[in-house]
Structure 1
Amino acid sequence: MPDRDEQLATLLNELLDCPELGQPARLESMTKDHPQLAEELRQLWATASLTCDLFSDSSFSSTPGDSPLSAAAKAQEKSPSSRASQPEGDQTTLIYSSRSPSNESGAVDPGEGDSSTAPEHNPSRKSFPFLQLEDSLPWTWGDYELIEEVGRGGMGIVFRARQISLDRRVALKMIRSGELAGPEEIVRFRQEAEAVGRLDHPNIVPLYEIGELRGQPFFSMKFVEGTNLAQLLSHGPLPSRQAAELLLPVCRGMASAHQQGVLHRDLKPSNILLDQEGTPFLSDFGLAKRIGPDKRISLTGTGSIVGTPSYMPPEQAAGRRGKLGPASDIYSLGAILYHILVGHPPFQADSHVDTILLVLEQDPLPPRLLNPQVDPDLELICLKCLQKPSELRYEMAEDLAQDLENFLHSEPISARSSSWRQIIGRLFGETHHAGVLENWGLLWIWHSLVLLVLCVTTNYFHVTGVESRFAYLGWWTLGLGTWAMIFWNLRRRAGPITFVERQIAHVWGASMLASVLLYVVEWQLKLPVLTLSPVLAILGGTAFLVKAAILSGRFYFHATILFATTLAMAQWPQIGLLLFGIICGLAFFIPGLKYYIQAKHTKERGSKPAVADLVQSSL
């Protein structure tokens, strides 16, 4: 065993030393040379490559010279006086990009903001001295007197300061790495300032000034004297009424931001500041994104995972930027409400990767199961926000705010009623697992053709008078068995296999095995061959019924048609297998073509929608 492990380690190191683009080809070569290690090597490579992606220096915002772990640790540091608009977080904000290194860490997509005009990154330039010499504070910097550092994250640093000309207290934010900041950091910083500058709401920290001094961009905001929600919740959950009263103005603030075409994308308790009267203020728009007709910027590339895992919606955790909208922030508001009610977020694990898996695959426990004091209506509001399909959440933040207000006034809430559109959407819409079908699209097309050939040939045997059971049994065993092995090997070559895919594969495998066993049952009961062939349509319909529950409600139509095909096969036994081959083949071909085209479009956009699925299968 030690020799085997040693050999695996050697091969994996050799593989990871290859250039990234050459790794898949090298992997195939290694698995051919070492077939006894092939499966373990594939799994190890998937895990190692994903880990390298998630924890490389270019994947997380960090200061120059930080290791990935130290960068993450620094992002979670707490300051005893963390009371400004960049408070220390309850969790690290994750910035992972599946794009090439040249466009990571918040690079702007072509056509949505050009970073080519940003200052060139020069490692020889020195950062500002006060970023290291904090003991020298207070420090006069232009029109500002920097008094103390009150917060820092992966990219930004915030000082409590005094604006000298107006003699007012402000929070001054600048890039943490100073003059060492690269073009992407500068673009993201300026776009954060621009996003905040668009907003005007009593529950959003107002922007005072945007400027640049000695090549260092900065902006100043209102200084909120008090604490933040994360620190408040460290003492435990809040009563239901107090939770609703606290979150209501936050929802109004987000509704205003959405009306101005701004998504927050990193809502969490530490980004909600509380002044000494308990008034909440939204802060830290560092991951903000424009939406609506005025859309022209994006702070992260297609296929990026940005945000704080415990509070990000599934579509954001999967890196699907194009699917983000107001409902994404509503999910995060629901996660914050969940935290307020039970004392912790809906999903949390030992690592970012494990948390993302929970966000994508699991449903949160009902709050009242963890805290029986939670009001049932407020629990419904919370769980509606946390629906995995975005169309089942509140459509707008204002709708969520209205339900919270209705709750506070003991009036009926909309979360208790469902429109026909919501019911139909819940029944026939895609689930959050449907993305795995992009891995199966082309294979389903081939499966439909194999199934049609198998059924047409069997029907020909029947029409021409072939009565030997062994001919039918042998043909179906050989045909389905061979195709099953080819199918599974092709799927494995395409990448790691997810847990959901294994479930679907078991259902599919069981239906194929049952199809073959029908010939054995006919033989034991001494029935004429193909007497039980209508049962094939029942098996197929049952398999699609399971797929409808796990993947997409549209498969209910496929199941219904296959169940109806059973009656037609019993009515016209001479062409029964031909009917089944055509109907079942189409049931696989149509969705297979749809998801094959969808996968091609995804690949052309350069996004990586199955990032989290790769994580799941590789752990």
Structure 2
Amino acid sequence: MTIWGQIVDSLPTNSDLWKWCIRELSGTCGVYRILPTSHAITFTLSRPGPRPFASGGRSDIWRLTDEDGRDQVFAVRSFRVYEQDPVDMIDKRYCKAVIVLKRANHPNILSIEGVAPKLFKFCVVSQWMPNGGLLGYVTKHPGVNRLELLIGVTRGLDYLHDNKIVHGDLKSSNILIDADGCPRLSDFGLRSIMKDIDPVNASTPSRGDAARYCAPELLDTNGAVRVEKKKPTNKSDIYSLSMVIVELVTGKIPFPDSSDPRVIIMISKGNRPPKPLQFDAPGMTPAVWKIAQKCWHQKAMERPEVKVVLQYLECPPNHGMCVHRVCSCPEREITDL
């Protein structure tokens, strides 16, 4: 298994052979429920305290420091596994996800440093992102150009889809901002580790919050995310991206005045956030809102591919040089996104 990892690491990360090897390595590690020894971190982390930094769903976030003298801070996401849980199934999904997370390589992706089996049976270790999540960041920095942040998010999603990776849980809290103000997509693929494991908790607040970003085909009207019946897809990621646009335009979560169960029913019936009367957020224009409208189409197949969305978002702002049909020009219209 170590040799496999060395072979993969020696290949260009943009090659088809590299992508094929990642899929094969991920599948093999899942079948045998093992990870290459190189995936275990080599530095020593401080022991977890009595309480995590944050919790959500079936995982906890710990803020731990490197004790090897480098004075670095890391985020450790540990998964809570209970006595009645099918550990073998969780182990299989965990090993497959770690392979993908470890080798993700893009400026707008938060890859992991590795795993820490001496601390937790199931966990992933990543660099600590000092600026927190996307929505909190723009709230604290109202003057930041939100279009640039959105372009970074879309580039990250484009990288995942290009590598045949579905994020599955795209929302502002899973878009972290690094020290340079660059957005990084995190937690992609992690939802699958615990999917359909604990149906008793299907209507907990954490799942309700996630439902605000879920495409209608992933929801039912009973107040639960229908992950056991329908897997997230590239198209459901595009729907989630539309809700991220809503957050960047409004500075609020989608449907901020509605309860979680009501939001699920509203989305299933085709209701969407209302268009703002004003676009005051830097970089956010009516043209960007129209992109969101295309991305949240009720029918999955009618939503655009992420590369198409990115093409429109990257339209040059110079009116005379604009070669696409979307830019900051108020007269421009999205006709065939």
Shorter-chain TM-score range: 0.5 to 0.7
Aligned counterpart for 1:157 among listed residues 60, 64, 68: 60
Aligned residue type for 2:168: R
User: Which residue does 2:73 correspond to in 1?
Assistant: 169
Aligned mates of 1:176, 1:114 — CA distance in 2: 21
Query: Contact 1:347–1:358 at 8 Å: present in 2 too?
Result: no
Deviation at 1:218, TM superposition (A): 2.7
Mapped partners of 2:307, 2:170: distance in 1: 16
Q: What is the distance in 1 between the residues matched to 2:30 and 2:177?
A: 35
- The answer on whether the counterparts of 1:377 and 1:413 sit within 8 Å (CA) in structure 2 is no
Helix, strand or coil for the counterpart of 2:336? coil
C-alpha RMSD of matched pairs (Å): 3.8
Q: Which amino acid aligns with 2:218?
A: Q
1:533 matched residue in structure 2: none
Q: 1:208 to 1:276 in 2, by over 3 A?
A: closer
Of 214, 221, 227, 1:312 maps to: 214
**Alpha carbons 2:279, 2:286 under 8 Å: kept:** no
Alpha-carbon distance in 1 for matches of 2:291, 2:159: 20
Q: Please give the residue correspondences for 1:404-415 in structure 2 after superposition, counting only pairs within 5 Å.
A: 404-406=313-315, 408=317, 410=319, 411=322, 412-413=324-325
User: Take 1:206 and 1:214, find their aligned partners in 2: how far apart are those partners?
Assistant: 19
Name the structure 1 match of 2:44.
Answer: 143
For the pair 1:340 / 2:244, whether they are aligned, the reply is no
Please state how far the C-alpha of 1:371 moved relative to its aligned partner.
4.4
The answer as to 2:289 corresponding to 1:379 is yes
Contact 1:191 1:299 (8 Å CA) reproduced = no
Deviations 1:512-554 (A, max 9, x none): xxxxxxxxxxxxxxxxxxxxxxxxxxxxxxxxxxxxxxxxxxx
The alpha carbon displacement at 1:252 in A equals 0.8
Shift of 1:345: 3.6
In 2, Cα distance between the equivalents of 1:287 and 1:358? 27
Task: Give distance in 1, aligned partners of 2:69 and 2:94.
Answer: 25
- Work out which of the residue numbers 164, 172, 175 in structure 2 matches 1:272: 175
Trace 1:225-240 onto structure 2 (pairs within 5 A): 225-234=130-139
C-alpha change, 1:247 and 1:323, in structure 2 (3 Å) is same
Counterparts in 2 of 1:103-142, with a 5 A limit? none
Contact 1:192-1:288 at 8 Å conserved across structures:
no
Change (3 A) 1:157 1:324: closer
Shift in alpha-carbon separation, 1:340–1:368, aligned structure 2, 3 A? same
Report the structure, 1 or 2, having the larger helix content.
1
Ranges in structure 2 where 5+ consecutive residues have no aligned partner: 1-26, 34-41, 221-225, 327-332
1:401 equivalenced with 2:310 (yes/no) = yes
SS in 2 for 1:264: coil
Contact between 2:166 and 2:189, CA under 8 Å: does it hold in 1?
A: no
1:282 to 185, 191, 196: 185
8 Å CA contact retained: 2:135, 2:248: no
Letter of the 2:211 partner, please give it. P
State the partner residue of 2:7. none
Counterpart position of 2:195: 300
For 1:380 and 1:233, the matched residues in 2 are separated by: 21
Kindly indicate whether residue 151 of structure 2 is the aligned counterpart of residue 248 of structure 1: yes
User: Measured at CA, do residues 244 and 142 of structure 1 come closer, stay the same or move farther in structure 2, by a change above 3 Å?
Assistant: closer
- Find the residue that maps to 1:216 and give its secondary structure: coil
In the alignment, structure 1 segments of 5+ residues that lack a partner are 1-111, 119-140, 290-297, 420-619
Is the alpha carbon distance of 1:338 and 1:166 closer, same or farther for their aligned partners in structure 2, counting shifts above 3 Å? same
Tell me which of 94, 110, 122 is aligned to 1:205: 110
Q: Distance in 2 between matches of 1:323 and 1:156?
A: 20
Contact 2:216 2:268 in 1 (8 A): yes
Q: Structure 1 residues 182 and 213 mapped into 2: Cα distance closer, same or farther (>3 Å)? A: farther
Instruction: Report if the CA contact (8 A) 2:167-2:188 is conserved.
Output: yes
Number of aligned positions between the proteins = 274
Confirm or deny: 8 A CA contact 2:47 2:119 kept in the other structure: no
The TM-score with structure 2 as length reference comes to 0.67
Q: Equivalents in 2 of 1:231, 1:215: separation in Å?
A: 29
Q: 1:311 to 1:407 in 2, by over 3 A?
A: farther
Alignment deviations for residues 384-417 of structure 1 (CA, whole Å, 9 cap, x no partner): 111111222212x222122111164553336712
SS at match of 1:226: coil
Cα distance in structure 2, aligned partners of 1:169 and 1:372? 35
User: CA 1:200–1:262 in 2, change beyond 3 Å: closer, same or farther?
Assistant: same
- Three-state SS of the structure 1 residue aligned to 2:126 is strand
Contact 1:170 1:223 in 2 (8 A): yes
Shift of residue 372, structure 1, vs aligned partner: 7.1
For 2:309, give the aligned amino acid: L
Counting aligned pairs with the same residue, the percent is 23
Distance 1:407 1:383 in 2: 21
TM-score, normalised by the number of residues in structure 1: 0.39
TM-superposition CA deviations, 1:186-234 (whole Å, max 9, x none): 5554444234124211111121112423772332112222222132355
Task: Tell me the SS of whatever aligns to 2:122.
Answer: strand
SS of equivalent residue, structure 1 residue 225: coil
Q: CA deviation at 1:259?
A: 1.8
Counterpart of 1:392? Answer: 302
SS in 2 for 1:245: helix
In the alignment, the residues of structure 2 paired with residue 166 and residue 182 of structure 1 have an alpha-carbon distance, to the nearest angstrom, of 39
| CA distance in 2: counterparts of 1:191 and 1:348, whole angstroms | 35
Task: State the 1:146 CA deviation.
Answer: 3.5
By how many angstroms is 1:352 displaced? 2.6
Whether contact under 8 Å (1:224, 1:274) holds in the other structure is: yes
1:470-500 per-position Cα deviation (integer Å, ceiling 9, x unaligned): xxxxxxxxxxxxxxxxxxxxxxxxxxxxxxx
Name 1:418's counterpart in structure 2.
Answer: 336
Separation (CA, whole Å) in 1 of partners of 2:104 and 2:318: 29
The answer as to whether partners of 2:30 and 2:96 remain within 8 angstroms in 1 is: no
Are residues 393 and 369 of structure 1, via their aligned partners in 2, closer, same or farther at CA, if it must alter by over 3 Å? farther
Whole-angstrom distance in 1 between the partners of 2:194 and 2:62: 24
**1:138-197: CA deviation from partner (whole Å, max 9, x where unpaired):** xxx993214664322222222222344583432222224588865255555444423412
Letter paired with 2:295: C
